[in-house]
Structure 1
Amino acid sequence: MKKSSFILMSMLLVFTMFVAGCGKSENNNASGETPKTETETPKESEAPKKDVSLRVFSTFGGTDTAREAFQAALDEFTSKNPNIKVENDTMSANDDGFRTKVNTDMTSGNEPDLLFYFVGADAKGFVDAGKVVPLNDILDSDSTWKSGFSPAALENVRQKDGNIYAVPLTGFYEGLFVNKKIFEDNKLELPTDWDKMKTAVQTLSKKGIIPLAAPFDQSHYVIEHFILSAAGSKGHNSGLADGIDPNWEKGYAAMKELYDLGAFPKDAATIDLGMASNYYGEGKAAMILEGSWAMGNWKDPAVLDNTTVIPFPAMPGGVGTGKDVIGGFGSGFYLSKSTFDNADKKDAAIALLKHMTSPAVIEKIALANGGTPAAAGVEIKGKTQTATEGFAMVANADSVNNPIDTMVAPETFSTLRAGVQAVVTGKKTPADVLKEAKDIEDANKK
């Protein structure tokens, strides 16, 4: 064989082996095996989640009994979502300045991402302005989340237009908290009717004991209970929409009647709700009109162990039953429209909203503040006997009614509040105060 022919055959053999090797490599790839090379590129890792900052505003501040539980729930969320930073912006509900802050923030482009605030007239302005989004579709799209709520709780926060703008957390009840020991020591019967109330006020006042701890300015609970006692559930809940119910005048007149008997603290014109609560919590007052949350602020065992809570008694000439109470789900979490429209924040804010209104968080908040849980299947017996009696009071009530300040404009309610001192000191008649409030309410609707 010629040398040239040999060389040609050798080249063909090498080429054939090369082709065979390439074919084998392709077959290996087809079978799922990955050829190993020195320069293999590692698999690209998942991109980290974008950092998000959210601001939550609430009244879980100051001395609120659920403050720590609320912060713990936020911390739990951020620990599971390290890319989300949450600012816990709080004020005390006893500081009327929180309403001003909310209204200013909601009208100046400084809306919090989540807002825990009142349902009703207090929120009407920013709801009507489209500053928050209806949550119906978000609830309907997550059946697990929605089914975690008590249906009654969701219905209680539904607005007149059929939308739910605020998702509830815990509800509340208000009532007449009474120091049973003070009554027993002074041979007094519990004030379950008007005559017993007047007898208690007269007796205790003469002995230097504050009968009913209440301020004149922050007179929220006084207004609600005296009007409910006089006007009954229907008259109370009508607000001033259908004119002035004459029974509202009877409610204000009854405030003066008890004032003249010495019912209120001597400094009622200058103290706030916090100081009134202190008077009761320190055993200096025999009664106080307060909400379920107040018990957490009373530290003296001698007061706590001897406290019961009952409905405010019906007054003669009124239409209240003596078993009507104030309560419900008067607040909840709102989702800002600007946050909902922000692609970077929307999902994070909704995730936080769902976490803060999960059955587990609701139960912890309810245990802390003694509130009625908005979650289905969560039963809170109450940390104290008084709390248990409070839940029983609501369960046995003839009616459970939202506070008056959810039914009238904030400016109207401010007038009603200012009217308490004016009426009890004789500077104005109940009719005068109610006429002023009605005029403001009408002007606010124009």
Structure 2
Amino acid sequence: MKKASLIVLSVLFVFSMFLAACGDKNEVKNNTPNASGNQGSKEEAVKEEPPKKDISLRVFSTFGGTDAARDAFQAALDEFTASNPNVKIDNDTLSANDDGFRTKVNTDINSGNEPDLLFYFVGADAQGFIDAGKVVPLDDLLNEDANWKNGFSPSALENVRQKDGHIYAAPLTGFYEGLFVNKKLFADNNLDLPTDWDKLKKAVETFAAKGIIPLSAPFDQSHYIVEHFILTAAGPAGQAKGLADGIDPNWEKGYAAIKELYDLGAFPKDAATIDLGMASNYYGEGKAAMILEGSWAFGGFSGAEVKENTTVIPFPVVPGGAGSGNDIIGGFGSGFYLPKSTYDNADKKDAAIALLKHLTSPAIIQKIATANGGTPAANVEITGLPQAQVDGFAMAANSASITTPVDSKISPETFSTLRAGVQQVVTGKSTPAEVLQEAKKIEDANK
């Protein structure tokens, strides 16, 4: 019995030693060097990414004040900073109707105070700082990111291409311009809509006799007067030439037609002193029957009744003009530029490019276009617009031609001369030929 017991004890002892050996193999011992070289756990601690560096970006644009897309644009910026809490954005704005807008942009760029993203015009307005190398071409960035590039409508990208063949501005929304008409005022006075020159003249005479402003427009900030009268007088081809090949005689007809309407009482009595904002107020308050404006104007009209009773039509052909009567001004005349100073800044570059792509993504383009009634630069659907804006889109879709404004074909100084010439012509201080000759001199000097 003792021998049997010893055998059993021996077996149990061997079995217990086997279990102990197995236990040693599965036990995790705290003898592995850690990151500091000391003995520690084999499970390495998860390395935390260092916090992202705080970055401040200044975005300069026209999305402020009474701009219809102001809130939508601010929401787009807020959306970006919510996803990128290390980025702070200075939303710097100034109305494009303010003559100081161009001055501020040119002063900031020439003085080395460029914003990190700049929303500005394309064409001649931008040529100076493009030639100076102040902004970078976006072609490579677009080609490197197919999702971003394919989010744009091809026609939108082509519209913002500069004469050197490069794209410097990423488009957001386009625009159309036309004659905004208060249908109710026309109906109440038994007038046909001004689809030709004779109907326009009759409307001007009728409204002027009743103390209603026929066509609300300022003489100093006569942007839209100049654009429409030159287009309808010279036609798309004659307008597109600018002043490079001399003075198109049809441009004189345009200025002569402005004078003809002035003599009939077409403009506000204080047209010499008001600005575009006040002209818009006159129309929005129902004090004016017509206004030459762009798709962005709806947000500035204060009266709901006026908005409901507005339609948009092409400006009629002036006497002897080369236009078709169905030519309009529009296109994609602005976009976001990436200044070279930001592109070369290692701390800001990636954040600025990410913000640029965010602000020009299809989702944001759709929101901005819905807010301002502009033509979206992406293939997105815009719904819920009032009838007047639907009419504006239909006018653009059915037009014989869409031409970018004349100020995109000439220097800013030349356009300022043309604007100043409106008051000179209507008051008889200068002839159309004299104004255009002076503009030609300015254009030649700026070549």
Residue 44 of structure 1 and its aligned partner are, at CA, apart by 2.9
What SS does the corresponding residue of 2:96 show, helix, strand or coil?
Answer: coil
TM-score (norm 1): 0.91
Deviates more, 1:246-255 or 1:335-344: 335-344
Q: CA deviation at 1:299?
A: 3.0
From 385, 388, 391, the equivalent of 1:389 is 391
Tell me by how many angstroms 1:242 deviates. Answer: 1.0
- Equivalent runs, 1:302-313 vs 2, <5 Å: 302-313=305-316
Which of residues 218, 223, 233 in structure 1 aligns to 2:236?
233
> Deviations for 1:74-104, whole angstroms, at most 9, x for unmatched residues?
0000000011111111111121101111000
Is the partner of 2:90 in helix, strand or coil? Answer: strand
Q: Identify which of 269, 272, 275 aligns with 2:275.
A: 272
Amino acid at match of 2:185: I
Give the C-alpha shift of residue 301 in structure 1. Answer: 2.2
In the alignment of these two chains, the number of paired residues is 420
Q: What residue in structure 1 maps to residue 446 of structure 2?
A: 444
Aligned equivalent of 2:109, options 106, 112, 123: 106
Structure 2 distance, partners of 1:43, 1:305, is 62
- How far the C-alpha of 1:381 sits from its partner, in A, is 4.4
Instruction: Tell me if structure 2 keeps the 8 A contact 1:381–1:388.
Output: no
> Which residue in the other structure is 1:11 paired with?
none
The one-letter amino acid paired with 2:412 is P
Alignment pair present for 1:67 and 2:70: yes
Aligned equivalents of 1:267, 1:366: Cα separation in 2: 33
- Once the two structures are TM-superposed, the CA of residue 35 in structure 1 deviates from its matched residue by 4.0
1:403 aligns with 2:405: yes
Which residue does the alignment assign to 1:367?
Answer: 370
Of all paired residues, the percent bearing the same amino acid is: 75
Which amino acid in the other structure matches residue 417 of structure 2?
A: T
Distance 1:291 1:35 in 2: 76
Q: Counterpart in 1 of 2:90?
A: 87
Deviation string for 1:185-236 (max 9, x for gaps)?
1111100000000111011101111000000010000001011111000011
Matches within 5 A, 1:179-190: 179-190=182-193
Structure 1 position 160, deviation (Å): 1.0
What is the match of residue 429 of structure 2?
Answer: 427
Q: Give, as a single letter, the amino acid of the residue that structure 1 aligns with 2:438.
A: E
> What are the Cα deviations for residues 2-33 of structure 1, in whole angstroms up to 9, with x where unaligned?
xxxxxxxxxxxxxxx9xxx9xx98x87xxxx9
TM-score relative to the length of structure 2: 0.91
Superposed CA deviations along residues 122-180 of structure 1, whole A, max 9, x for unmatched, are 11110100000000000000000100000000000011111000000000000000001
Q: Please list the CA deviations of residues 236-283 of structure 1 after superposition, one character each: whole Å capped at 9, or x if unmatched.
A: 111111110000000000000000000000000000000000000000
Amino acid at match of 1:126: F
2-structure distance, mates of 1:319, 1:417: 21
Q: What SS does the corresponding residue of 1:318 show, helix, strand or coil?
A: coil
Deviation at 1:371, TM superposition (A): 0.3
Structure 2, gaps ≥5 residues long: 1-16, 32-38
- Give structure 1 stretches of 5+ with no counterpart: 1-16
Q: Quick check: 2:66–2:299 contact (8 Å CA) kept in 1?
A: no
**Aligned to 2:80, which of 71, 77, 80?**
77
User: Residues 32-58 of structure 1, C-alpha deviation per residue, up to 9 Å, x if partnerless?
Assistant: x96446854744311111111111000
Q: Which residue of 1 aligns with 2:170?
A: 167
